[in-house]
Amino acid sequence: MMQTEGRHPGEFVMREANGQRSRESLTIAAEQIIEANSVVCRTADPAKVSATASVGAENAGDATIAVGSPGASTAVSPGRYRGVATDATHVTWEDPAGHYIGESVHGTPFPGEISLTITAGTTPTAAGDEFYVVVTGDADAWQHVSFDADAGLPIAGLAIYPATTGVGETVKIAAIVRDAEANANCVAWPASITDAEKTIAKGALARLGIIVRC
């Protein structure tokens, strides 16, 4: 009788940082099926997240900034979002990791990971003026779910172990979240993923310092 050997937890790891620096314990959200060696994404509970806006102390203009209600989406990351004005009405935004997430226009709501509106004041905004949104949350504000290329959630790493959770149930598992090399042949990708989606996911992992090699 032919038998198929299942995946071994962590078999994708080719190299990782010394000690436990590459690993974290991630909380898996309710009603999830996580396969060993699969990509996991981070999701936020907007009700448990706080977003606080401020302007740069050295700004030439006197524009103000306010967050929406809610001030964050399920894709928001913890930390400081930074916006830098490019002219009197446009501000480019980056997430806490320094990645570009879009451009806001004064007087127009900016939806996305963070929700905000910058309102022009009496003195025009100058190029280089800065705006900030700091995102914090409870210990359980961020949890993790299986990768879905259409969900728009940030990739958090590669699960080492499998996990299955029921309604209202969470569990913690170890995952590689930074500074590692992974064997592409051992990563458990969703069956429906396209080559283009896989390339995008590999790029997101690379930004975490996780290099997927063939």
Residue 66 domain-assigned (yes or no)? yes
Q: pLDDT-derived band of residue 2, with 50, 70 and 90 as boundaries? A: low
The domain in which residue 57 lies consists of: 48-137
Q: Compute how many other C-beta atoms are within 10 angstroms of the C-beta atom of residue 55.
A: 19
Residue 118 domain-assigned (yes or no)? yes
What is the per-residue pLDDT for 8? 84
Q: Half-sphere exposure (CA, 13 Å, Cβ side) for 120? A: 16
Residue 7 domain-assigned (yes or no)? no
DSSP 8-state code for residue 90: E
Q: pLDDT-derived band of residue 140, with 50, 70 and 90 as boundaries? A: confident
Residue 34 domain-assigned (yes or no)? yes
Residue 4 domain-assigned (yes or no)? no
| Per-residue tokens: 120 | 């022009």
Q: Half-sphere exposure (CA, 13 Å, Cβ side) for 189? A: 19
Q: Are 58 and 105 contained in the same domain? A: yes
53-92 pLDDT, tens digit per residue, is 999 999 999 999 999 999 999 999 999 999 999 999 999 9
Residues in CB range of 40: below 8 A, 6 or more apart: 26, 28, 34, 144, 145, 146, 147, 155, 156, 157, 158, 159, 175
Q: How many domains does the chain have?
A: 2
What 3-state class would DSSP assign to 197? helix
111-132 pLDDT, tens digit per residue, is 889 999 999 999 999 999 999 9
Residue 8 domain-assigned (yes or no)? no
Residue 82 domain-assigned (yes or no)? yes
